[in-house]
Chain A
């Protein structure tokens, strides 16, 4: 119990008769008179005394502290330089208990239980689940490709092989009462938080095996709620007349349990291998981002519920018919978009210019101006570094003469702003806000295709400049005016086929969504202390 305090996230509410200690799934109600009569207990509940400073020799007090510890209510020792993986697992069990409590207390679940969620939002939730399943094969394969150790590559290769087809076998959205075709299911654009989740998993899959394992463990461990899952599914199926829709979902949980998927990730942590504190905190923060994106998706499903969009699906854009009647992606631009709007661009530059002409490079329309506040300077610095690293990444995927020269020039230009290459590449900064990470990740993944990256970079520049709300917060894009002309020349030389034109158009609006959330929500995040909060 040495130096273990009540975690700051534990909610203590005091009444006349009882004091309630709430954490994770439950509340412990303690007699106020007992607390008043127990020396130091008040200060302990206020976070001012550690457990050791109480008198745990008292049996009742010792038991209470044991209960609080078992439920993850006590802080974890944070004074070590290194932690064994077993200790990491112990710490993460405490953290994830709190996360499960937050996740399952989201208002979405009761709306699904009582059937008060619209069918459009119900469909958005089913698609969200389908997209979560679809991401597993991608992220696990990325780890199987990039991680430096054979053990970790093999772990994720097995995961990829086990999971890749589940989006088709268990989670494909198909039911006569749902207004969606098979083709639409395959093509629908994921919610912004689903995109953010996928891309954060992909980032970790390349550079942070521990964060990837912890995120996978967090997901897989929910199979332990099997009984409640079945009850929930029965309730939702009855509320929406979905029959045995969730039978496949439950079969999937059974597979998770019988094949011990959580156990496999747990087993990796059953080791005395040591992890430096700094690396551990970085991995926990990466994992926390994925958790925030999972929560964000639930919020976005409720946004669908509140929306009066004319199109109920987020279908990819088609340049020959830009109408909010055809895709929910255009709903924020309903008022500003001319009737019968269309784009006739033959080059990537022309497409970018069309977006400007149609005000589709404005994020003001997708957010509430009163919600915007300055972004943390640390997050802006992180973005500047990460976007620069993405420029190098894009050059690493270049295959054409023009791509190499453009991206080389952009890299040269951006690197100069950091003083030295060492300070750029040596930066391990992480943002405070998950929205900053989501924005960085979108460009990072975009960098896998150099032309798309160049297009998105230009779109980000014009959006940041044109959207008054972003104002001076453009310093995170490390492209100077010196590189603007070469960037335009490159995009002008790239001829677009109709399919690529529509893909870029859709990606531009997805980038708008992430920038909009970054501006409106990015300032709200505060640093998390995983040992004490």
Chain B
């Protein structure tokens, strides 16, 4: 079977405040529709300019799907 197209999106937050080359947070599962909106992409890119010292972390991991 053909490998499915992965529709999940990933956003990585990085800044000079974390250890070198280590992202502060990697968020997956963001709606692809969100990323298709240019204005949203701009806003997300701008996140690199959050207040100094800000960091984000995942607190919950998804598990299995809610079957339908």
Which chain A residues border B56 with CB–CB below 8 Å?
26-29
User: Taking the complex as formed, is A205 at the interface, i.e. its CB lies under 8 A from any CB of chain B?
Assistant: no
Place the interface of chain A in its size category.
Answer: 35 or more
Given A27-B56, A31-B53; A67-B47 close (CB under 8 Å): yes
Interface contact A258-B57, CB-CB below 8 Å: no
Bound Cα distance A171, B67 (Å): 9
- Assess the B4–A132 pair: CB atoms within 8 A: no
Q: How far is the CB of A375 from chain B (nearest CB, A)?
A: 29
User: Are the CB atoms of A228 and B51 closer together than 8 Å?
Assistant: no
- Tell whether A223 pairs with B59 under 8 Å between CB atoms, given A30-B51, A66-B47, A294-B66: no
Cβ-closest chain A residue relative to B10: A227
> How far does the Cβ of B51 sit from chain A's closest Cβ, in whole Å?
4
Please state if A29 and B54 are interface contacts (CB–CB under 8 Å): yes
Q: Which among B40, B51, B62, B68 is the interface contact of A34 at CB below 8 angstroms?
A: B51
The contact string, 1 if C-beta is below 8 Å from chain A, for chain B 43-54, is 110110111111
Who on chain B is nearest to A99 by CB? B66
Interface residues of A in 211-262 (CB under 8 A from B): 216, 218-229, 232-233, 249, 251-254, 256-258, 261
Nearest Cβ in chain B — how far from A172, in angstroms? 12
Within 8 A of B (CB), among A166-211: 171
A104 to B58, CA, bound (A): 12
Cβ–Cβ contact A25 & B59, under 8 A: yes
Contact with B along A121-147 (1 / 0, CB 8 A): 000000001001100100000000000
Q: Which residues of B contact A77 (CB under 8 A)?
A: none
The B-contacting residues of A in range 27-73, CB under 8 angstroms, are 27-31, 33-34, 59-64, 66-67, 69-70
**Cβ contact within 8 Å between A67 and B43:** yes
The answer to whether residues A222 and B66 also contact, given A70-B43, A228-B61, A266-B33 and a CB cut-off of 8 A, is yes
How far is it, in angstroms, between the C-alpha of A229 and the C-alpha of B4 when the chains are bound?
14
A100: Cβ under 8 A from any B Cβ: yes
Report the bound CA distance from A70 to B51 in whole Å.
Answer: 17
Inter-chain contact A27/B50, CB cutoff 8 Å: no
Q: What is the CB-to-nearest-CB distance from B36 to chain A, in angstroms, rounded to a whole number?
A: 12
CA of A176 to CA of B13 in the docked complex: distance in angstroms? 45
Which residues from A are CB-within-8-Å of B60? 24-26, 101, 104-105
Partner of A257, one of B5, B54, B68: B5
Of A31, A60, A113, A227, the residue contacting B49 (CB under 8 A) is A60
13 more contacts with CB within 8 A, not counting A29-B55, A29-B57, A228-B61, are A25-B27, A25-B61, A26-B56, A26-B60, A30-B51, A34-B53, A93-B31, A93-B34, A104-B62, A171-B67, A229-B62, A232-B61, A249-B67
